[in-house]
Amino acid sequence: MAINAADARQLARVILLAYGEDVQTIANMLRPLRQEWPTIAWIGELTTVTQNWQPFLDSGLSIAWWLNEVDRLSQP
């Protein structure tokens, strides 16, 4: 099954909506996605979504730190 960048971005939005700032859960979900669709820049898609995601902006959480942690923990 093919997936494109728009699908990946929508999936990233759904994951963030469901799990919010939970680094470990999102990393665990991202790991099989990275293995199944390695051509998708998953961290890039999450970056695009989180830069404008109001709950992240309101929380004061460092988006760069959060993305680095998700990236580190989701490595296959």
pLDDT tens figures, 6-54: 899 999 999 999 998 899 999 999 999 999 999 999 999 999 989 888 8
Q: Looking up tokens 């919010």, which residue turns up?
A: 20
In whole angstroms, give the CA distance from residue 3 to residue 21: 25
Exposed/middle/buried for 36, CB within 10 Å: 0-12, 13-18, 19+? exposed
Q: Looking up tokens 């959060």, which residue turns up?
A: 66
- pTM of structure: 0.86
Higher-confidence residue of 1 and 51: namely: 51
What are the start-end ranges of the E strands in the chain? none
